């Protein structure tokens, strides 16, 4: 498999997809056209999402074709040079993907080596489930099961902050609840500006910030770019 799993599309004060576009270009070297899954969009149209991504991908010479335009979205996935899944609401994304049979189609396609790029919700759906998303369940998918391309769970946009006056649970406390209920599963807190690349059986953290690692019965720890992540595979 070839996966590029990005925490967030946009760093504060930057343009959309500005910080990861160089990594995307390198990862998709030789690709002329991608199949784009826009179904995490909720407050704007799929066509608007396609155009937004195309504007950035114009810089790297790649045509964006959204699956929402296809009579047979699964066929588009089967024939794709590469697949990109955008961020937004993970529940909306998962529901639509399940309805169209795209979970299975993408799993089969990327298992054969087709490159996959996802950001935010698009990264979360590569996990066994979507249970470590930060999103509100605005719609109900058939199940929480996702693509399962990786064996661990990702929490995109991972935050350490506990704002003054906030009495609710922190992100870490929520993840500790998850691993208590799912003790066999590793969870990675992927901070903004960072991404995971999986190529040729090697998993690599890219970015200047460490990634927080959670597992039931294991003291929470952090890894940095260049560290061995084979324990997650």
pLDDT at 168 over 90: no
pLDDT at residue 73, rounded to an integer: 98
Does 157 participate in catalysis according to the annotation? Answer: yes
Does 208 participate in catalysis according to the annotation? Answer: no
Q: Which of 157, 166, 208, 230 is catalytic?
A: 157
Confidence bin at 136 (pLDDT 50/70/90): very high
pLDDT at 133 over 70: yes
CA distances from 85 to 16, 64, 77, 79 (A): 15, 11, 11, 16
pLDDT tens digits, residue range 5-58?
999 999 999 999 999 999 999 999 999 999 999 999 999 999 999 999 999 999
Q: Which of 120, 123, 160, 227 is catalytic?
A: 120
pLDDT tens digits, residue range 64-114?
999 999 999 999 999 999 999 999 999 999 999 999 999 999 999 999 999
Specify the higher pLDDT residue, 162 or 78.
Answer: 78
Architecture in CATH of 2-232: 3-Layer(aba) Sandwich (3.40)
pLDDT at 167 over 70: no
Q: Which two tokens stand for residue 152?
A: 């661990």
Element (H, E) at 34: strand 33-37
Q: H/E/C letters for each residue in 201-233?
A: CEEEEECCCCEEEEECCEEEEEECCCCCCHHHC
pLDDT at 59 over 70: yes
128-133: average pLDDT: 98
pLDDT at residue 165, rounded to an integer: 74
Q: Which of 135, 160, 225, 227 is catalytic?
A: 135
Pick the range with the lowest mean pLDDT from 87-91, 155-159, 168-172, 205-209.
168-172
pLDDT at residue 160, rounded to an integer: 85
Element (H, E) at 74: helix 73-78
pTM score, whole prediction: 0.96
226's torsion region: left (phi>0), alpha (psi -120 to 50) or beta? left
Does 228 participate in catalysis according to the annotation? Answer: no
Going from N- to C-terminal start, the domains of the chain cover 2-232
Distance of alpha carbon 99 from alpha carbon 101, whole angstroms:
6
pLDDT tens digits, residue range 217-229?
999 999 999 999 9
Confidence bin at 161 (pLDDT 50/70/90): confident
């Amino acid at each position: 498999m070839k996966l590029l799993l990005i925490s967030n599309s946009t760093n504060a004060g930057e343009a959309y997809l500005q910080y990861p576009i160089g990594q995307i270009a390198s990862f998709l070297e030789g690709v002329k056209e991608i199949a784009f899954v826009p179904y995490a969009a909720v407050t704007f149209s799929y066509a608007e999402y396609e155009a937004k991504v195309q504007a950035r991908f114009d810089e790297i010479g790649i045509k964006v074709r959204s699956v929402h335009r296809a009579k047979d979205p699964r066929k588009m996935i089967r024939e794709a040079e590469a697949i990109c899944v955008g961020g937004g609401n993970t529940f909306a994304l998962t529901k639509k993907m399940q309805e169209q049979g795209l979970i299975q189609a993408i799993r089969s396609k990327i298992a054969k080596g087709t490159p996959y790029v996802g950001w935010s919700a698009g990264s979360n759906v590569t996990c066994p489930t979507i249970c470590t998303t930060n999103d509100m369940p605005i719609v109900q998918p058939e199940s929480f099961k996702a693509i399962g391309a990786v064996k661990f769970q990702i929490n995109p946009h991972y935050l350490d902050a506990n704002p003054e006056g906030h009495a609710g649970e922190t992100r870490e406390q929520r993840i500790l609840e998850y691993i208590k209920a799912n003790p066999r599963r590793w969870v990675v807190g992927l901070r903004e500006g960072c991404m995971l690349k999986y190529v040729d059986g090697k998993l690599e953290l890219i970015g200047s910030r460490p990634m927080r690692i959670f597992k039931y019965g294991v003291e929470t720890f952090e890894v940095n770019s260049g560290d061995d992540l084979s324990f997650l595979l």
